[in-house]
Amino acid sequence: MKRQKPNDTIAKLNELYVSTRRKYIIQTALGYSTLNKDKSPTVWALNDYMLTRHLEGVNTYGIFNANTVNKFITFDIDYADNRDMARWATYKIIDALENEFHISRKDIHVSFSGNKGYHVDLFFDKAIKLTDSKSFYHAVLAVADLESNNVEFRPTYTQAVKIPLGIHQKTDSRCWFVDNVTLELIESFDYLNEVEPMDHAIILDALIEITPEQLAEFDQVRERTNVDITVVTESQAFSKVTDILKAGRLLGSNTRHETTVLLAAFCNTQGYEQDDAIDLILGVLHATPADYFSEGSKPEMWEKEARRIVKLAFGNDYKLGNADKTVTIYKSEILAVLSVGTFRQKQLAYAMLVTSKRYGETFYLTMSTAMRMVGTNARDTVNRAIKKLVEVRFIEYARKGELDKAKSRESGHAFYKPNRYRILIEKPCANEQGIEVTDAQSLVDVSYLLLSERELRRVVTRKEFTGRWSRC
């Protein structure tokens, strides 16, 4: 057994668990008793000496929350005399937290209850409302398909939870933490000393889409649009989002939520900033006839939901499945790319070519996405590159500087829709040989796959070849 550090562990118990000292429980062989200083002045407030006695196994204590807020939550898993069911339920809770709610394994802490069950704890860097804690708990149970009578929510101000690392007074078993992969006992106080609270915003962000009503709605959207937990994988969803972008409005009545989810995933895939994604979604909604929306659906609600869903999509990395798909590039296309101006402009031309192959000949491109494509933080560099590509007829504007009248009226100032572009270069010949490339391959990589060094030297300047293409 590792050397124990009781002073450090007591400090961690205070930091992570103790929300109120005036009300707590004590366990005896006969059961639990609640002690409340507010009701009996002779009751001692919970203190470090008591926590020391707890770690020594002399007394065993439990704590309540701070009435309306929780600094941690516990999934109290108890299947009476069935230890195997308790293990199974514990694994399901851990799996749901990690894979469905994107909580890191290092932030999921499991302890043995001392009898037949387990406690799964999440600690927060800031206390969150009890109502939010309970909403999250119910959402996790819904995803894990478990019942609340076997997996209870703790702590509240009326229902305490036993502090770990003490002795279960009925079974005389130590309530050690366990490995959250194997559930094997970690017989050391040191485990808790290394625990750090997780970002509370992860829980609040999860509530964007996981109240019971929203969870049911999201499942329906997933069925219609193939929205997966981290990726939209099916071509049906991609085709639909492409059609929405071409039309610039909803394609059917009562599809606002579905469209918002799809466009949020699309914008995350494309590297949009969150504000740009929200603007794109609202532009589509404002351009849609009023009778496409359900009764009572208002613009202020659209914006609120758009912000919530975009935050969820970006935070959980929802993407369109074709973000990483291979595309076929032809020699004639690379020659067209290399015929434009500077190396940065060639990079943007190549990136636009790949984007058009993934998302349609007419595509959106925000300034932030373009800067990322060419690896620059300078807007002027991108503006000059776009201007050059237009001048040499590599691209044209499919939409430029179009005023969004509805959004402008709502915001009180001129608001413009995102620009759209179209590739103008000639299509490859029917029998022209091409190669499949991915995002991992740069313009330089693809150029060498399609052209010889001699051909490259003929289409780029000597200085550019030496600085960018030379492999000496």
Q: Is residue 165 pLDDT above 70, yes or no?
A: yes
Q: Is there a single domain that holds both residue 316 and residue 345?
A: no
Q: Is there a single domain that holds both residue 59 and residue 92?
A: yes
Please give the DSSP secondary-structure letter assigned to residue 329.
E
Per DSSP, the three-state class of 377 is coil
122 part of a folded domain: yes
Q: Is there a single domain that holds both residue 354 and residue 464?
A: yes
18 part of a folded domain: yes
Q: Which domain holds residue 253?
A: 208-322
Please give the DSSP secondary-structure letter assigned to residue 418.
P
Query: Per residue in 301-350, pLDDT tens?
Result: 888 888 888 887 787 767 665 555 678 999 999 999 999 989 999 999 99
Least Cα distance to 83 among 47, 106, 51, 112 occurs for 112
Lowest mean pLDDT among 243-247, 257-261, 413-417, 432-436: 413-417
Report d(CA 74, CA 124) in Å as an integer: 12
Radius of gyration of the chain (CA): 29
Report d(CA 35, CA 430) in Å as an integer: 83
How many domains is the chain partitioned into structurally?
3
- Mark which of 288, 322, 356 sits at the end of a domain: 322
Distance of CA 397 to the CA centre of its chain: 33
Q: Is there a single domain that holds both residue 258 and residue 359?
A: no
Average pLDDT for 374-378: 81
Q: Is there a single domain that holds both residue 332 and residue 309?
A: no
Q: Is residue 255 pLDDT above 90, yes or no?
A: no
1 part of a folded domain: no
Q: Is residue 203 pLDDT above 50, yes or no?
A: yes
Tell me how far CA of residue 122 lies from CA of 72, 404, 431, in angstroms. 5, 45, 59
Q: Is there a single domain that holds both residue 429 and residue 330?
A: yes
pLDDT tier at 236, thresholds 50, 70, 90: low
Pull the structure tokens for residue 66: 């701070």
Residues 6+ apart with CB under 8 A from 7: none
Q: Is there a single domain that holds both residue 372 and residue 455?
A: yes
Report d(CA 351, CA 356) in Å as an integer: 9
Report d(CA 224, CA 220) in Å as an integer: 6
Report d(CA 237, CA 214) in Å as an integer: 20
pTM attached to this predicted model: 0.47
349 part of a folded domain: yes
Q: Is residue 359 pLDDT above 70, yes or no?
A: no
77 part of a folded domain: yes
How buried is 90 (Cβ within 10 angstroms: 0-12 exposed, 13-18 middle, 19+ buried)?
buried
Say which CATH number the domain at 368 has.
Answer: 1.10.10.10
- Mark which of 322, 353, 384 sits at the end of a domain: 322
Rounded to 5°, the CA angle 232-96-16 comes to 130
pLDDT tier at 469, thresholds 50, 70, 90: confident
Report d(CA 180, CA 104) in Å as an integer: 11
Q: Is there a single domain that holds both residue 109 and residue 53?
A: yes
**How high is the pLDDT of residue 233?**
39
- Mark which of 305, 322, 339 sits at the end of a domain: 322
What are the strands, taking DSSP E only, across 10-100? Answer: 23-28, 31-36, 60-63, 69-77
Say which CATH number the domain at 173 has.
Answer: 3.90.920
103 part of a folded domain: yes
Q: Strand 69-77's sheet: what is its strand order?
A: 151-154, 69-77, 118-129, 109-112, 177-178, 185-186
pLDDT tier at 379, thresholds 50, 70, 90: confident
What torsion do the CA atoms of 134, 138, 140, 146 make, to the nearest 10 degrees?
Answer: 130
Query: Longest Cα pair distance anywhere in the chain, in angstroms?
Result: 93
DSSP of 245-314, one letter per residue? Answer: HHHTS-SSTT-HHHHHHHHHHHHHHHT--HHHHHHHHHHHHHTS-GGGSPTT--HHHHHHHHHHHHHHHH
Least Cα distance to 348 among 323, 378, 316, 371 occurs for 371
Report d(CA 411, CA 404) in Å as an integer: 10
Q: Is there a single domain that holds both residue 195 and residue 218?
A: no
Q: Is there a single domain that holds both residue 334 and residue 426?
A: yes
Q: Is there a single domain that holds both residue 18 and residue 167?
A: yes
End-to-end CA gap in the chain: 58
Strand partners, 227: 232
Q: What are phi and psi of 267, to 5 degrees?
A: -65, -35
pLDDT tier at 220, thresholds 50, 70, 90: very low
Query: Per residue in 92-110, pLDDT tens?
Result: 999 889 888 889 899 999 9
Higher-scoring residue by pLDDT: 223, 155 = 155
278 part of a folded domain: yes
Per DSSP, the three-state class of 78 is coil
Q: Is residue 405 pLDDT above 70, yes or no?
A: no
Look over the chain and give the mean of its residue pLDDT values, rounded to a whole number.
82
106 part of a folded domain: yes
Q: Is there a single domain that holds both residue 292 and residue 334?
A: no
